[in-house]
Amino acid sequence: MTASAENGKSGQAMRKPPVVSPQAWEAAREQLLVKEKAETRARDALAAERRRMPWMAVEKAYAFEGPQGKVSLLDLFEGRHQLVLYRAFYEPGVFGWPEHACRGCSMVADQVAHVAHLNARDTTLVFASRAPQADIARLKARMGWTMPWVTITDSFDKDFGVDEWHGTNVFYRDGERIFRTYFINNRGDEQMGGTWNYLDITPLGRQEVWEDSPKGYPQTPTYKWWSWHDSYMPDAEPDKKWVEVSDAGEAAFRAESANEKP
């Protein structure tokens, strides 16, 4: 360990935790695990409450520029029912322009999981900035990003609270009607990027049978819809072998949970 790591940034010696036996370490881990599981259950309950939030109708028509030209907010859904739209700062005046986007927004982009998993849950993820499409295409190629990324051309950012700071808006499409269902920004955006975190802020959630969702919401058997990101097929039945594997795993998990101390 280097002297700087040993002493910390302040130059003071690090006050390290005690070193204990394997048995004591396991006991400490089990004690913390109780709180971690409580947090997980609380997070699930919060997502369930989020799915019951009221919706706000989007009455104004918004226009964006995509790789193929002008597109509407409705077009961004790509035929799916849910849209997660992240406002990334990449434009003149942003630190790093034109070689880079905002460092924070770039960190968010670096964390985005393969969008095929979201698409399989009827959800589209899109990034939006004010930079022209040519600059966005160059930036994506340089950074290895593949998510859809459009150019804001009107007051969308101001109307949805992302004109001065990054943020994630969630929308639901009912036919051609669009509703705003959720919004998160500031430190809330730090957790974004993973498939589960995106689904947990959508009105339909993960769409698995264990979730507490309003009556009539789409739900399918837990785990069964999962697949490799290059193997999703629309309306395909779950792979029989995967069903066997996931059933066995879920049964083992349920048995372990049933044996846990209250």
Domain count within the chain = 1
Q: Quick check: 72 and 63 in contact, CB under 8 A? A: yes
| Residue carrying the six token digits 């009827």 | 122
Within a domain: 130: yes
Within a domain: 162: yes
pLDDT 10s digits, 78-89 = 999 999 999 999
pLDDT 10s digits, 216-259 = 999 999 999 999 999 999 888 888 999 999 988 888 877 777 77
Within a domain: 245: no
Q: Does the pLDDT value for residue 9 go beyond 70?
A: no
Name the DSSP letter for residue 113.
P
Within a domain: 202: no
Within a domain: 232: no
Distance CA 50, CA 142 (A): 36
Q: Starting at the edge strand that comes first in sequence, how are the strands of the sheet with 177-185 ordered?
A: 56-57, 177-185, 167-174, 82-87, 123-129, 149-152, 63-66, 69-72
Residue 252 is which amino acid?
Answer: A
pLDDT 10s digits, 31-76 = 999 999 999 999 999 999 999 999 999 999 999 999 999 999 999 9
Within a domain: 230: no
Within a domain: 160: yes
Both structure tokens of 108: 């968010």
Domain that holds residue 109: 56-191
| Residue carrying the six token digits 């992302």 | 162
Within a domain: 248: no
pTM reported for the whole predicted model: 0.92
What CATH number is attached to the domain comprising 117?
3.40.30.10
